[in-house]
Amino acid sequence: MKKDIILAGVGGQGILSIAATIGTAAIANGMHLKQAEVHGMSQRGGDVQSHLRISDEKIASDLIPQGQADLIISVEPMESLRYLPMLKREGWLITNTAPHVNIPNYPDIEKVLEKIKSLPRHVALDADKMAKDLGSVRATNIVVLGAAAPFLELAIEKLENAIRSIFKTKGKEMIELNLNAFRAGLAVAEKAS
């Protein structure tokens, strides 16, 4: 098994927690992993992306070649489209639909959503609202991860364990919140796929 994943969002939206969760689950499965992150200047409210590669076999490049990603997982709708050149023709795009508007020229959100919905394989969900309903908008990223879960070919139980271990230091409440967020996202995806 081999999955090449582009994680996308805006600095501060928690894409590295998504990466850490998938990574922890993959390592627990005895898989190889490479994950290229963006640190430094680009984090200041700019677009951020991470290349996450998991595989049964040794991985060569830290970067995913163009047109080879199996999945784009995005916490922001416009950002999900920025990485379309990376996605395989038969790849899936999983994205939050709630825009993060911190630039004056953010496009018409209807146009953005229309483009996302025109893709044959996509899951789009208002993860902001779902996370808020569950108790905190801070769990938005994990709602999106839940929606991506069926496409990862990792056991759901392993992913849930990974969430428990990633949020271990943040206390029981945060673990519960994020498990609920994960399950809510997963439920949406199971309907869509």
List of residues contacting another protein (CB under 8 A): 10-11, 23, 27, 32-47, 58-69, 78-79, 81-82, 84-89, 91, 102-103, 105-108, 111-112, 115
* Residue 44 C-beta: closest distance to another protein, Å: 4
Beta-carbon neighbour count of residue 120 at 10 Å? 8
Q: Looking at beta carbons only, is 36 or 156 nearer to another protein?
A: 36
* Residue 189 C-beta: closest distance to another protein, Å: 21
Q: Is the CB of residue 31 less than 8 Å from the CB of residue 1?
A: yes
User: Distance (Å, rounded) from C-alpha 164 to C-alpha 170?
Assistant: 10
Determine the 3-state secondary structure of 125 from DSSP: strand
Q: Looking at beta carbons only, is 155 or 172 nearer to another protein?
A: 172
Q: Which DSSP letter does residue 57 get?
A: S
Q: Looking at beta carbons only, is 60 or 157 nearer to another protein?
A: 60
- What are the backbone angles phi and psi of residue 165, rounded to the nearest 5°? -80, -35
